[in-house]
Structures are given as structure tokens and as C-alpha cells.
Structure 1
Amino acid sequence: MSAPVAGAARRFLARRWAGTCVLLAACAALPGCALLKPPPAPPEPQGATEGTLAPLAVQLEVQAPGELESLLENYLDLGRLRALAPDEPITAAELRRLEAATPAQARALLETEGYFDAQVQVERVSDNPPRVRVTVQPGPRTIVRDVVWGVKGPLQQQLEAGDAGAMAARSALQTNWPLPPGTPFRNAAWGNAKSGALAQLRASGYAAATWESTRAEIDAVDQNAVLWVTAQSGPLFRTGQLRIRGLERQDEKTVRNLADFRPGTPATEQLLLDYQERLQKSGLFDRATVNIDTDPAVADATPVTVRLGELPLQTAIVGLGVSANTGPRATLEHIHRRIFGQRATLRNKFELAQLRQAWEGELTSHALPGLKRNLLGGTLERVESDDDVVQSARLRTGRAYDGERIDRLLFVEVERSTTRNDLGTETAQALSLNAHGTWRDVDNILLPTDGIGLSVQTAVGQARSDNFDGSTRSGPYARAYAKLQWWKPIGEDWYAHTRLELGQVFVRDGLRVPDSQRFRAGGDESVRGYGFRELGPEDDGVTRSGNVLMTASAEIARPLTPRIPGLWWATFVDIGNAADRWGDLEPALGIGAGVRYRSPLGPVSVDLAYGRETRSVRLHLNVGVQF
């Protein structure tokens, strides 16, 4: 053999055996696998000698069902030959040796997919160029017959004592195990299941948990597997002192109030993630991480380290944009995160739009014990629609609670509104006690695709109105409003979103409450195909706000192309209207289609909708999800 050829062969063998050793090591981890001896080498083709060089391209033909074909093509040495040595010929003897080793390699690969009784045949189809055919009959796939669980350490002791938290941790471990009886056994799935279960046990507060033992017993005759897993839980970690890092301008007390747990609380992953999310949502920090010390020696009171990056003390934001509801707009927002050196945030926002001009201001305390916040706010607003102009002023004071899934707001509000249209001028004022609540259980709060969101508003108060007809009325009133939203994947890459909105003002005839307490429909978040606040009861052809509201929407969407998964198309149907009484409500219909871009700040929607009642088409733009 010439020196160049010998060198090429040595380089090829070194690379090939490195890959083969990795495969054999993986297969050795599978219990119950017998050592397979390669079959005798096939007879040497006529005319071939040890020094004969095979042509460059050795062709491999695999006949196997489904995904097994690509598995063998990619990982058999014969399949990798060209990639390993694309420009180096090999001897005929080396090619025969690879053919002889192929059945054992193929069976080892098939065992990782759960096929422990495969039949493999290898034949040389042609010699010039060399073409090898590998035919596989995998046989039945091995199925998980049983999973035998074992737990040792403090978790087992707590289970014996009937501890509810320990029972919940074990139940979650077994319920979420991804290889229950009846599922196909695959080596990769077995490895992922063990990793995932251990991660879940650690997330339950047993941060030092390890596997005491794991094994898979394979019965190749009956094609089933029994999985044995025994966890060593280690101690349950409980929270100790907070170590806060990175504070310069904000108060440490705020950070401690946002923790909302006492020393000695089980340090579960969810507890720490919820705390981290509250810090990020507080509006005071641009980054926050929460970690514990996982040394078992400090498990009874593990230090909780909070690392923070503070936002600037003051921020001013200028914005230019366009809204399908209110037209082109400019906004200016100013935030002071520690006004007058106190633990409070002051926000002021000014909006100048074609159809809306407004100022909104709010003074909010930083987090108090129990995740509560005190607030004082006000609004001045002018809104123009096709038929009227509404000016309003509101002042409120109250207390908010921001939870993980539930937000609550209780406040007292005084409001005055003036409506001008072709009927004249109407003025209404009210003093009310209000309770708002938002509950959500979604997979992603910014880009939901699965879950439910519910918003509820209630109010009771006293109102007085000077009506269009010159009459004056006063008396008590009540208001109720609810919006239910539902997101659900339906099949592969299809997503549904539905919405139902209901509202009613309970008031005696002739008494008008302020316009913001009443209802209209139409616009981006209402009935598409109609203008903003275009739908409602009419007097002499003039649309005004009503005492009852119903809107509903159904939408289905999917990605436009797998290459751009964040760009979706959608089609939808909207229906609804506002009226003075339920018996007078005549739903308007809107249908259309649009595109969605799932940006990091929320979905950006562009819709084209047709309104049946107006027989017109409107363009709608919207950003984000409103719960």
C-alpha cells in the first residue's frame, strides 16, 4: 500500500472509530442488550484484492419503514463514509469489513428507538460503483409495561408523616412522567424523562435531589420494558434571609414587600419565579434575578439572593402613531419613580389624536405588605365620534392588588361628562364605589395561545343628569360588565380565539349616568367593520351611548409559513351592539381577515373587515392583548 493511501486509510479509520465508540457507549447503557457478534464477512468479490481501491462514492441504499430509514442513513458507518472521507478512496477489504459490521451497528441504532428484535440484511448490489443495500424488518416496538417508583431521603419521611406538600410533590412527579405504561420506549425519551423528572423534583423545593438508581429492564421476547426509578430527594429547602444586591435609589422595604413570603417557606421554583416576575412588573427595575444557595448544609434557611438593575429615576417617552379608532396621534408620557423622595411613582400621560385628546395622571405607592398599592388618579378627556363630542373629567382614589393570576382594584370615583350632538347638550355626574377584577390563566401573558382571561367590573353610586330634553333626573344606579376570552390550539398550527362581552347599567328611566359608565360598540376591540363608538341606540339618526352591551367574536389563525412562525394570517367574525334595553338590541355583523405579527411586546394586528349594516370595508390596527 502506498504511503498516501495508507495515511488516508488511517485518518478515515480514526474518525470512523471515534463516531462508532460514541454509538456503542450509548447502546451499552440499555439494560438487557446482548453482545452481538458480527456475521462472517461476505465472500470477496471476484477480482478484488487487498490493495484494490474502491471508487470514491460508496452508495448506500436503506430499505426501512418511516423515520428508521433516515436514522440508518445518517448514522451507519457506510452512510457516513462519504462525509468522513469525501476525497479519499478506501480498500476493498475495508469496505467488506464495514459491510460485515453494518448489521450490528443497525441493530444497536434500532434498539435506541425501541426495536430489540430487528432483522437486518446487507448485500452488495453492484461493484462499480460500489452500492450496498441494507434491508431492515424492525419487528414490533417495545412498549413500557410498568414504571416502578421509589423515593428515599427526607421526602419519603415526610410522605410517611402524611405531609400534604410532600404528597403533592410525589403526585406531580408521577403524573407528569412522560413515559407512562403503554407508551413506546425510546432511549432518547428515557433520558429526557429522567432529566425532566429530576428537574421537577428540584423545582418542588428539593434543590439537591439526585437519582439513587435508574434502570430499564427490556424483555426482547415480549417487546416490553419495566422502568425502575428511585430518587434521593435530599432536604427540603426553605427560605432564609433576603440578600438584596444592586439598590441605589429605590427602597429595600419595597423589595421585601414584593417577596410576599415569610422565612421558612418551601423554596420552590414557582415561588422564586413569581417573586422575580413581581419585581420586573413593579416598574422600578429593568432586570431582576432571584436565586437560592443549594448547599444542603443551609437547607433549613437557605439565603435568597436578589440581584437588581434599577430603571432611571425619571423617564420621558414621546410617541407618534396612528390608531384605526382615533386616527393619527402624538403622546408624551413622564414617569417619576420616587417622587419627592417617597416610595411612590407618579405617571402623567398626554395624548393628542385626531379624535381623542386626553390627560391621564396617577400617583401610586410602591408595594405595601400583602402586595397592595394605594393610588390617586385623574383623567381629562375629549372624544369625538361621527355623531357627538364627549368631554369628561374623573378623579379616583383607592387601592390595588396585583397577584400572579388575579388583579383587583377597589376605588371611589367622582365623574362629570358633557355630551354635545345634534340633539343638544347633556350633562351627567356621578359618585360611585367601584370594584374591578381581572383573572387570567394563559400560557403567555403577552402572546397567549392557550388559556382563559376574565375581566369583571361592578359599580354602585348616585347620579344626576341634565338631559337633552331639558329634564333633570337624579337617583341611585348600578353597573356590571364582564369580558371573557378563550384561546385554544386546534390541531397542528391552528389557533382559535373567542371573546364574549356583556354589560348593563341598572338605572331608572330618564336618568343618565356619565358617558364612560354607559356603552357603545364598534372598533378594533369591539365589532370590526364599524367605526370607533359607531354602534349604539339612535335618536333622530344620532348615535349615543346605551345601557346594555353585547359583543362576541370568533377568530381562527395560523402561521403563514413555517419559515416565519411569528407571522400569522387570521379570519374572524364579530357581532354585537349597544342599546337602552335588551329587547331593543339588534346585533351588527362584521367579517374579515388580517395578519398578525407576534412581536416581543405583543401581537400586532392588521385587519380588513366588512360591516354588513353599513356595507363598507374598514381597516383596523391594534397592538397587544387587552384582558
Structure 2
Amino acid sequence: MSWPIASRRALACVALALVLASTSAPAQDDGERDEPLRSDAPAEAATQAASSESVPAADDEAAPRRSLFDSGVTTLEAGANGAYRIEVRAPKRLRDLLVRHLDLARFREQPDISPIEIGRLVAAAPAQARALLEPQGYFNAKVSVQRDEAAGGTPPTVRVQVDPGPSARVGRVQLEMQGAFAQGMEAGDDGLRRRWQLLQSRWSLGSGTPFSQSAWNAAKNALVTSLRARGYASAGITGSGAQVDAERNQVRLSVIVDSGPLYRLGAVRIEGLERTPEQTARNLLPFAPGAAYSERLLLDYQEALQKSGLYEGVAVELDLDVQQAERATVMVRLREHTTQSAQVSIGYSSNTGARIGLEHTHRRVFGRDLVATSRLELGRLEREVSLDLLTYPLEHGYRNLLALKADYLDAGGAITQTQRLRVGRTRDTENIDRLYYLEFNRTTVKTANARLADRALLGNYQWVRRDVNNLVFPTRGLILGIQAGGGAAYDADNERGPFARLVLQATAYQPLGAGWLGQARAEVAQVIKRPSLGVPDSLLFRAGGDDSVRGYGYRTLGPVRDGAVVGGPVLATGSVEVMRRFSDDSPRWRNWYGALFVDAGNAAVSWNEFDPAIGYGVGVRWRSPIGPLRVDLAYGEKVGALRLHVSVGVTFR
């Protein structure tokens, strides 16, 4: 099918604009860490303002791109009441620092400043500028300041000229370990020796690297944080020095770190509970008494408590009393959720249109350790009502569930109504969610000429693993999902028989370099059964929509019966997408991205009849607090038309 010329031109223009906008932005790596290092080491040098700056070193690869059209001068006008104007000439990465912190820049707007005071500021500026540059690794900067008077009552101009000289490099690095860690190495512990070698290899300020105060502090913090995260919770820097050889532009570094004792986890003390049993919180413990301390274990426990839905506030800390290091107390402070809560939601999806929802949660049903959640969602094309009963966490974090759900969907020319009853068990951990259940399913599909109702009883296992750097906006990592089950079906023609169902899903995120991010998604599924046996349509598969094949309507790809799209026993979909941030420097555009994508896939009666539908287009992403907002303009080849897709959040099915 040919593409209309107007649509083709519109899509080409949007794609060209996105590419041009993205290539004008500086390169960056979006595989960024999501949790900053703790700043436990004291700052050691010049002024606090200068040491807190994060100014790239002279050989920063991004700097030439940022300064390609830079005039090399920043001018601060005097303003209506200003005493003088300033011109600062320096490399861009340092000029911004000087403009923010030089007294000459800060006091230029004071109308009552005297010529004598201006002279004092001019005389003091070279020394102040050098003091600002030294923490950035420039110890031989040449700074000149000139004051030029102007005629006709115009404010004078103060010109600051800066030649930073070469950036100092790290020379010799000496790292020394003390405390229980060192004693263990001396006693012949090969594991500790290998770990110390690994910590030394990860030291970020190696010989020959550019020196700056911020990098120096970050390297020490990283060393201490690594020790604290893996057993040595009271580790700290007991001595450090950065000896500058200005003539050779070298800095010799020395660090002495005391590991302190190796901590082991002892008693767990829980505070703040009124209604929920203490044992519920203990059932979520990911460790046994006597386990070696690691920061990850406490974070896992804190996250498990938060995910339980029972506590509004959670804090898990270790008692750092060195005298009790062998059986350190874990302190857990909890603030319970209210017994009942309700929320109203209004939303829109290009899949199913506008919708309104109501959700009510009762966290102590009938005075028992049960959580009941009821939901009602009403939309033009999709409606749903459900009730979930979930026990409080049991031993090892498992929870029993009972779920009732009825939904209505009008898509692809067919009206599908499903009623489900589930009884099962679930367990959610930091990276892995598991769900086992037995389900009774009754689904009715109404087309133009028929109304068929199929039933099934099946057992199912659902497993999802998330290894990504950020759950809200992943840019690196992998998500895997598996669903496997089977049971017996009883179709509308009174035929009975067994069937099996398997779904495999994977989504990968990877920085591609030069500021580009890549995402690839794949899904393969099949229901294995006799060709003549009918299985409930909600257990079969359709494709199309925001998280499937863009360019097509929601669940409008699949086998056609009586002119309507119905579920098929086989499905395969895939997607490849690249995106790039509009700008690294502008706060307004830092969370906006442009995207290019290609989707393909379909559902069918069999693999012999499988015919993938192709969709491709451009989009815009916004990194919102609740997940990525995606707006995509996609062209579906099979339908020969453009379609707008809007969605929010990351889907973990």
C-alpha cells in the first residue's frame, strides 16, 4: 500500500527536526548511576564555593563541542545602577565558575560602591581567580585584570583575562589500609587480599589522570563507600594528603583508610507498630542473624517493607556501636498506613481512550491480617471491576491471594467480556516478582454474526526479573518475563480438552555512545492445543497498540473472524528504538528526548499463517516523576495511515 505524499513529507520533516535537535546537543552517557555517593570525607582545600563546583577537566571530550560557537568572552553589563561592566575571557568550562564567584562580578550592581573599593576589587581579583582555579587542577594560571575608563559618563569596563595553563595530573598514588581488613590480609585471607586489589584497581584518580578537588573527594568517598557497603560499616579516612608540585604540574596523593571492624547482623528491633503484627515485618527479612553485614541487605529489607503496602514510612539502619559489631542491632522504624484509603483517577490512553477510575484499599479486613483492594475503571472502550484479597506477608515473604475480576473490551470489531477467579500465591523481591495461581476463566466474544463463550481452568506461573539501573526511567539493563501454564478448556461447542500456554518477554536498554540510547523489545507466545478446541479469547493473543506494534490500534492485529479481530494461538512482536536527549545544559530540555523506532509483529492461528505487520515513526519522551511520558507518531504499513500513541510509565508484565 502506498504512503500518502502529505503524510510521508510530514513524518520526514519531524524526523529531520528530531535528528538535527539531537545532534546539536552535547554527547553524554545516560547509563548514569541513580544513587550518588555519600559525601563523608571532609573537603580539603581552597574555598567551599570552588571545591563544590563540578567543572570538567581540560581534556573533557564534551568541552570542544560546547565551545564550538563560543566567543570566549562572557560580558556582564552594568545595568541601570551598576558601577561597571565586566568582560571575562577564559575557557568556557572555567569562565562560568569565575563569573559566579568573583567578587568583581557579584558587587558590580551596587550603586554606592566607591572608586577606591572598585580598585581594591580589581587588585584582589587575580589572587581570587587563582584560588578558584586551583581546586580544578590549574596551579599555574595567569590572570590579568584591566580597568578601562569610558567617556561620557558610561560605566567603565573591567576586563579579566585568564590563561589557565596546563591541568595538573596525578603522579604517585599511595593507598594504605588499616583496621580489621588489614589484619585479615596479614593473617592470610586471600579473599580480602583480592578485594583490596579490586578496590585499588577501581581507584578513579590513577597516575596520569587530571586532578581536581571534586574528583579527589569523589575518589575517597567511593573507596569508603565500597567498604561500608560490604561489611565494614564504620570505615573512614584517617589521613589523606594531596601534595602539589606546581612546577611539574603533578599532584602526589596519599590516603590512609581504617576499615573498622567487620559487622555481622544481630537482633532486629522494630518500632512504630500499632495495628499490624511485628511478625509480618519479620517475615520479610532477607537475612538470618549472624549474616555478614552489607548495605544491600538493609536496602533490600527496606524496599520489601515499602512494597508490602502496609507502611507509609520505612527506615532501616544499623547500630554502629563498634563494641557490638559481632551482633550489631538492626533498627527498623515503621509508620503504618491508614486502615483505609481511596483514590480517584482520571486518565487517557491512545489504546482505549479516556477513562475514570476509583480504587479503595482496606488494610485490616474483618480485623484479620488481610488487605482488600477494590477497583472500578470506566472508559469508552474498556471497563473493569475487580476485588483482590491479599494476606499480610507470611514466612519468607510469600502472600496468599484471592482475586475476582470482570472486564469489557471493545477492540478490533469484537466485544470481549471476561470473568476471572484466581487463587494463588505471590512473592515480590527487589529484582524478581513471582506469582503462582489457579484460575477459572470465562470469556465471551461477540462479533457481527456470532457470540461464543469459552471456559477454562488452568494453573499458571508468572516470573519477572528486572536488572535495570532505574525502575522509573531505565537506560541500561534487562527485563525478562516468563509465563507458563496449562489446563483444560470447555468451549462453546461443548468440546473439551487440554491446552498449554507459554509467553516469553524481554526488554533490553543500552547506551550507544555520543548521547544515544538504545532499546530493544521482543515477545513470543503460543497456546498449544488441538486445532478444533476453543480456548477463552483472553488467554489467546492479539497485537497492536502502544506497547506492542505502534501504527495500529489497540489489539487490532490478529486472526479475523466475521470481520472482527479475535485472539490467535501464536504471537510474536519486536521493537527497536533509539533516542537522544534534546540538551544536556538546558534545565528546561534536560528531561526531554527525541526517538526513532521500528515495530513489527502480529498474532495468528499458526506460525505458517504468521504475517508480521510493520510500524515505524518518531516520538518524544519526557522523563516524568512517574515514568516516561511517550508521544509517538507511527505509520502502519498494513493500514497505510499515521497514528498517534500516548502512554506513561514502564510496563513490567
Calculate the TM-score normalised by the size of structure 1: 0.81
Relative to structure 1, the CA distance from residue 178 to residue 84 in structure 2 (aligned partners, 3 Å threshold; closer, same or farther) is: farther
Q: Aligned residue for 1:256?
A: 282
Query: Match for 2:645: what amino acid?
Result: H
Match of 1:587 among 607, 612, 634: 612
Relative to structure 1, the CA distance from residue 156 to residue 575 in structure 2 (aligned partners, 3 Å threshold; closer, same or farther) is: same
- Per-residue deviation at 1:436? 1.0
Q: Does 1:365 align with 2:391?
A: yes
Match of 2:646 among 618, 621, 625: 621
Moved more, 231-240 or 259-268: 259-268
Query: How many Å separate the matches in 1 of 2:627 and 2:102?
Result: 46
Query: How many Å separate the matches in 2 of 1:110 and 1:354?
Result: 62
Q: Aligned residue for 1:31?
A: none
Moved more, 240-249 or 344-353: 344-353
Q: Aligned residue for 1:114?
A: 137
Q: Does 1:402 align with 2:402?
A: no
Q: Does the 8 Å CA contact 2:551/2:635 hold for their aligned counterparts?
A: yes
Match of 1:325 among 330, 342, 351: 351
Relative to structure 1, the CA distance from residue 136 to residue 300 in structure 2 (aligned partners, 3 Å threshold; closer, same or farther) is: same
- Per-residue deviation at 1:479? 1.8
Q: Does 1:233 align with 2:259?
A: yes
Greater RCO (CA < 8 Å, at least 6 residues apart): 2
- Per-residue deviation at 1:343? 1.9
Q: Residues 116-154 of structure 1, C-alpha deviation per residue, up to 9 Å, x if partnerless? A: 445x37475757788776665544332224432211111
Q: Aligned residue for 1:37?
A: none
Within-5 A mapping of 1:57-136: 64-71=90-97, 82=108, 87-90=113-116, 99=123, 108-118=131-141, 120=142, 122=144
Query: How many Å separate the matches in 1 of 2:633 and 2:507?
Result: 21
- Per-residue deviation at 1:98? 6.2
Within-5 A mapping of 1:137-152: 137-152=163-178
- Per-residue deviation at 1:316? 2.9
Q: Aligned residue for 2:597?
A: 572
Query: How many Å separate the matches in 1 of 2:225 and 2:430?
Result: 23
Q: Does the 8 Å CA contact 2:83/2:111 hold for their aligned counterparts?
A: no
Query: How many Å separate the matches in 1 of 2:460 and 2:166?
Result: 65
Query: How many Å separate the matches in 2 of 1:401 and 1:123?
Result: 67
Relative to structure 1, the CA distance from residue 86 to residue 190 in structure 2 (aligned partners, 3 Å threshold; closer, same or farther) is: farther
Q: Aligned residue for 2:334?
A: 308
Query: How many Å separate the matches in 2 of 1:392 and 1:143?
Result: 68
Match of 1:600 among 625, 638, 649: 625
Relative to structure 1, the CA distance from residue 559 to residue 253 in structure 2 (aligned partners, 3 Å threshold; closer, same or farther) is: same
Q: Does the 8 Å CA contact 2:83/2:113 hold for their aligned counterparts?
A: no
Relative to structure 1, the CA distance from residue 111 to residue 354 in structure 2 (aligned partners, 3 Å threshold; closer, same or farther) is: closer
Moved more, 348-357 or 283-292: 348-357
Query: How many Å separate the matches in 2 of 1:308 and 1:203?
Result: 23
Within-5 A mapping of 1:456-495: 456-467=482-493, 473-491=495-513, 494-495=516-517
Relative to structure 1, the CA distance from residue 175 to residue 259 in structure 2 (aligned partners, 3 Å threshold; closer, same or farther) is: farther
Q: Residues 224-245 of structure 1, C-alpha deviation per residue, up to 9 Å, x if partnerless? A: 3332212011112222222222
Query: How many Å separate the matches in 2 of 1:612 and 1:317?
Result: 41
Q: Does the 8 Å CA contact 1:393/1:415 hold for their aligned counterparts?
A: yes
Query: How many Å separate the matches in 2 of 1:24 and 1:316?
Result: 48
What stretches of structure 2 of length at least 5 have no aligned partner? 1-44, 52-81
- Per-residue deviation at 1:284? 0.7
Q: Aligned residue for 2:542?
A: 520
- Per-residue deviation at 1:317? 3.0
Query: Match for 2:237: what amino acid?
Result: W
Q: Does the 8 Å CA contact 1:122/1:132 hold for their aligned counterparts?
A: no
Query: How many Å separate the matches in 2 of 1:24 and 1:532?
Result: 56
Relative to structure 1, the CA distance from residue 61 to residue 583 in structure 2 (aligned partners, 3 Å threshold; closer, same or farther) is: same
Q: Does the 8 Å CA contact 1:288/1:306 hold for their aligned counterparts?
A: yes
Relative to structure 1, the CA distance from residue 219 to residue 519 in structure 2 (aligned partners, 3 Å threshold; closer, same or farther) is: same
* SS class of match (1:288): strand
- How many residue pairs get aligned? The number is 571
Match of 1:444 among 470, 488, 507: 470
Q: Aligned residue for 2:63?
A: none
Query: How many Å separate the matches in 1 of 2:160 and 2:407?
Result: 77
- Per-residue deviation at 1:81? 6.7
Query: How many Å separate the matches in 2 of 1:403 and 1:427?
Result: 38
Q: Residues 267-316 of structure 1, C-alpha deviation per residue, up to 9 Å, x if partnerless? A: 33222222111111111111111122223222222222222221121223
Q: Aligned residue for 1:156?
A: 182
Query: Match for 1:362: what amino acid?
Result: D
Relative to structure 1, the CA distance from residue 511 to residue 211 in structure 2 (aligned partners, 3 Å threshold; closer, same or farther) is: same
Q: Does 1:504 align with 2:526?
A: yes
What stretches of structure 1 of length at least 5 have no aligned partner? 1-20, 28-55
Q: Does the 8 Å CA contact 2:345/2:357 hold for their aligned counterparts?
A: yes
* SS class of match (2:608): helix
Q: Does the 8 Å CA contact 1:500/1:553 hold for their aligned counterparts?
A: yes
Relative to structure 1, the CA distance from residue 608 to residue 136 in structure 2 (aligned partners, 3 Å threshold; closer, same or farther) is: closer
* SS class of match (1:258): coil
Q: Residues 347-394 of structure 1, C-alpha deviation per residue, up to 9 Å, x if partnerless? A: 222333333333322222211222212222232233222332223332
Q: Does 1:542 align with 2:568?
A: no
Within-5 A mapping of 1:25-44: none
Q: Aligned residue for 2:9?
A: none
Query: Match for 2:409: what amino acid?
Result: V
Query: Match for 1:563: what amino acid?
Result: P
Q: Aligned residue for 1:563?
A: 587
Q: Aligned residue for 1:413?
A: 439
Moved more, 518-527 or 480-489: 480-489
Relative to structure 1, the CA distance from residue 267 to residue 198 in structure 2 (aligned partners, 3 Å threshold; closer, same or farther) is: same
Query: Match for 1:483: what amino acid?
Result: Q
Query: How many Å separate the matches in 1 of 2:94 and 2:355?
Result: 59
Q: Aligned residue for 2:413?
A: 387
Relative to structure 1, the CA distance from residue 335 to residue 168 in structure 2 (aligned partners, 3 Å threshold; closer, same or farther) is: farther
- Per-residue deviation at 1:26? 9.1
Query: How many Å separate the matches in 2 of 1:238 and 1:461?
Result: 47
Query: How many Å separate the matches in 1 of 2:188 and 2:504?
Result: 42
